Amino acid sequence: MIRILKYEDAASLVVDRKPDDARYETVVRPIIDGVRQRGDEALFEYARKFDGLGDQPLLIPASALAAAADGMSTAMRSAAETAIANIKQFAQAQLPCERFEEFSPGRKLGWIVRPLSAVGCYVPSGRYPLPSTLLMTAVLAQTAGVPRICVTSPKPSPEILGCAHLLGITEFYRLGGAQAIAAMAFGTKTVARVDRIVGPGNAYVAMAKKLLAGDVGIDFVAGPTEILILAADGDARIIAADMLAQAEHDITASAMLLTTSETLAQEVADELERQLQDLPTADVARESVDRSSFILVFKTMEEAVVYTNKLAPEHLSLHDPSLLPHIANAGTVFLGQNSPESAGDYAAGPSHVLPTGGAARLRGGLSSADFVKLISIQQLSPSALTELAPAITTLARAEGLEAHARAVEVRIAQ
Q: What distance in Å separates the CA atoms of residue 413 and residue 80, rounded to the nearest whole number?
A: 64
Query: Residue 218 to residues 96, 269, 370, 374: CA-CA distances in angstroms?
Result: 20, 38, 9, 17
Give which of 292, 327, 289, 297 is closest to 233, Cα–Cα: 297
Catalytic residues: 314-315
Give which of 68, 73, 164, 82 is closest to 123, Cα–Cα: 164
DSSP for residue 199 = -
Query: Residue 48 to residues 51, 175, 248, 271: CA-CA distances in angstroms?
Result: 6, 9, 29, 44
Q: What distance in Å separates the CA atoms of residue 14 and residue 5, rounded to the nearest whole number?
A: 13
Query: Residue 188 to residues 35, 50, 368: CA-CA distances in angstroms?
Result: 8, 18, 27
Q: List, in order, residues 6 or more apart from 174 with CB less than 8 Å away.
A: 47, 51, 53, 56, 57, 58, 59, 60, 153, 154, 155, 156
Q: What distance in Å separates the CA atoms of residue 98 and residue 19, rounded to the nearest whole number?
A: 40
